[in-house]
Structure 1
């Protein structure tokens, strides 16, 4: 029986709008522009290589801005960091939408995509930090898996909304959808007051933690669990490239490749909450190892497929493996983050994860250039088994840091 003066039991529904609403709107804005950035660059006269580089600037901007993002979040707080990041993203997409009608539009588009990546870094880190502090540890994996799933849903829906608007406004319509989504995220974040973490965050005496100090004092975690996160992120980013490349390799047209990608993404979105519940109830290891083994196995099977059906089954398996790992990177980062220096720790943690996301496609490209596409796909599949091995060895040994 609940004591009369105790707070009501925690429920994810009670924080649904402030915690997940801005994230959904922001990711819809991101998703709307992702399919058209390369096309915009080509229309502005960029070569195929330059167009690909401009798309990559989103990821590079996010990767390199993770550490400054931690400082911004600490200085301005989670709520205003989210508002500012969403506003900056909206302004950048507005500039990108206007790049076709001004001189030096290609340079403006490139700068805008880098700013979008930086804004996404601040937005994501601030949202993760808030949930880490506001949600009781027994609900943490479900909350962060839901956050990851919300991002996936937005990225999935964004291109469809953008496609509808582009029927009337041309390619710039995708950017107007992005501006609307990110502006709405900023408005929602500013109108809903921040929730307080249970019990509050008590101040402590002594010097404030520094980025260098946090990196040194938690080097063991970064070099062990961080290695698993690096491998998992490389695996995830590689799968996004492998499916369309192999579809083309076996002679499937663009519509079939898009269908494969979409169905894989649909499976991905359906399993994030059950996976979070498993992590909360049984432990992080119960998702970390199976998810990486499933994705690794599916990637090893792809070179054995020769048509639509076989590739579809492998793509669905990849989607399932990635879906159950939703929120895993954020959850482990939250588990290992210290109360003092949490912002710096999460910035370093996200830097490692984004490094893996950048390295995965680079590995695929290098092995493909040296051998063949099949060998490149298999090399990325091996990353899954390496990640599973790291998690299987490391997580039980680090169990004392958080309740697994």
Structure 2
């Protein structure tokens, strides 16, 4: 497909349903099951430690599947890959629903993560093909934002059905959401099919992509790893510090909800800024705000200061919506894009995994305050990486 010209009028509304509908529904499904996986494991007589491990299998499944997901998407196309991922996700959720042993639940959760990797990568590549480059950041920020909206809505939808049918209700909500996402993907046009048939070329090997783009992975990729670690850690820091301050569960939930509201309200303006002025204008303040907020959290001793820094943390995370996908799309080559993005997702997922692990390790050795402050310094490191290697202007102003 020939990329649309920057002079051609384009509206995201034209592709809203095929591009963002699956994202919202996927987020709803994810949000519906996350609160109940550990409880399901406990019902199957798993220990607390094993239940926690089973929850982490979603991330592990996604991490180990990123490269295979890239190869699948490259071979079968974005639309067919999303449909296949939705089918696998539904089968995995049914395995969770009817699990009679812990290992069955664990396998189902792991396969949900595998399906997520394929779905997320295919969805990103689909949108890159569908949207002109001068609107890329807005589109990908919206993609990230709509997923967050779905994750926010999911637990409430799951809770409504859980009230009537028990824990399985959360999984049934996810099944319905995944079926809907698969149907939308099936009915959507394959944006890159024409390009593949018109100019068939040999697919580059993953190791060739790594070698050719090693500098990008070691520079901007490092920044993405650090930002991902920050973003993953913030979800652990807020409830842990609330507990440290002795806040009731209700107060903690309210603060978490307010943070989520700020998070979801700023993704489109942030994408607009990136498209008009350059990626640095969002990547840099996002990293600095999250770093500063985490460091400030480590010295708060009251509810109001904690609420304020938590809202700043949510704002910093909110404006970073889509930044990982946008920078990956900017840096990816036209030939071998899906393979490149698969590697890019491996880097981001490593950050997602390492952030909470690093926080736990420092907390175990020193204290929670030292751990939170130490994680905050990653924001300054990420900002330094972006300041050094991110272009100052939007991609459309640079010569290709």
TM-score bin (small chain): over 0.9
Q: Which of 201, 222, 227 is matched with 1:232 structurally?
A: 227
- Cα distance in structure 1, aligned partners of 2:33 and 2:300: 31
CA displacement at 1:201 relative to structure 2 = 5.8
Q: Which of 145, 148, 159 is matched with 2:144 structurally?
A: 148
Determine if the alignment matches structure 1 residue 185 to structure 2 residue 185: no
Aligned residue for 1:10, secondary structure, equals coil
- Cα distance in structure 1, aligned partners of 2:392 and 2:275: 18
Give the conservation status (yes or no) of the 8 Å contact 2:280–2:392.
no
CA displacement at 1:72 relative to structure 2 = 0.7
Q: Which of 107, 116, 137 is matched with 2:133 structurally?
A: 137
In the TM superposition, what are the counterparts of 1:174-253 in structure 2 within 5 Å?
Answer: 174-195=170-191, 200=195, 207-253=202-248
Give the conservation status (yes or no) of the 8 Å contact 2:279–2:391.
no
- Cα distance in structure 1, aligned partners of 2:277 and 2:168: 47
CA displacement at 1:265 relative to structure 2 = 0.9
- Cα distance in structure 2, aligned partners of 1:209 and 1:303: 47
- Cα distance in structure 1, aligned partners of 2:134 and 2:328: 15
In the TM superposition, what are the counterparts of 1:29-40 in structure 2 within 5 Å?
Answer: 29-40=29-40
Q: Which residue of 1 aligns with 2:116?
A: 120
Deviation sequence 1:345-391 (CA, Å, 0-9, x none): 00000000000000000110010001000000001101111100100
Q: Which residue of 2 aligns with 1:165?
A: 161
- Cα distance in structure 1, aligned partners of 2:14 and 2:393: 32
Deviation sequence 1:193-247 (CA, Å, 0-9, x none): 33458x9468557642110101100001000000000000000000000000111
In the TM superposition, what are the counterparts of 1:306-345 in structure 2 within 5 Å?
Answer: 306-345=301-340
CA displacement at 1:125 relative to structure 2 = 0.3
5+ residue gaps, structure 1: 1-5
Aligned residue for 1:36, secondary structure, equals helix
Change (3 A) 1:377 1:107: same
Give the conservation status (yes or no) of the 8 Å contact 1:336–1:401.
no
Deviation sequence 1:282-328 (CA, Å, 0-9, x none): 00000000001001010001122123222111111111000000000
Determine if the alignment matches structure 1 residue 25 to structure 2 residue 25: yes
Which segment is superposed worse, 257-266 or 108-117?
Answer: 257-266
- Cα distance in structure 1, aligned partners of 2:40 and 2:197: 49
Give the conservation status (yes or no) of the 8 Å contact 2:142–2:267.
yes
Give the conservation status (yes or no) of the 8 Å contact 2:161–2:169.
yes
- Cα distance in structure 2, aligned partners of 1:206 and 1:316: 49
- Cα distance in structure 1, aligned partners of 2:149 and 2:393: 32
In the TM superposition, what are the counterparts of 1:85-96 in structure 2 within 5 Å?
Answer: 85-96=85-96
TM, length-normalised to structure 1: 0.94
Q: Which residue of 1 aligns with 2:66?
A: 66
CA displacement at 1:134 relative to structure 2 = 1.8
Which segment is superposed worse, 202-211 or 385-394?
Answer: 202-211
- Cα distance in structure 2, aligned partners of 1:396 and 1:200: 29
CA displacement at 1:93 relative to structure 2 = 1.1
Number of equivalences: 394
Aligned residue for 2:71, secondary structure, equals helix
Q: Which residue of 1 aligns with 2:3?
A: none
Aligned residue for 1:292, secondary structure, equals helix
Q: Which residue of 2 aligns with 1:3?
A: none
Deviation sequence 1:46-71 (CA, Å, 0-9, x none): 11111111010001111110000001
Give the conservation status (yes or no) of the 8 Å contact 2:79–2:188.
no
Determine if the alignment matches structure 1 residue 299 to structure 2 residue 294: yes
Give the conservation status (yes or no) of the 8 Å contact 1:29–1:181.
yes
In the TM superposition, what are the counterparts of 1:363-378 in structure 2 within 5 Å?
Answer: 363-378=358-373
Deviation sequence 1:246-298 (CA, Å, 0-9, x none): 11111112222222111111100000000000000000000000001001010
Q: Which residue of 2 aligns with 1:48?
A: 48
- Cα distance in structure 2, aligned partners of 1:291 and 1:195: 32
Which segment is superposed worse, 6-15 or 43-52?
Answer: 6-15
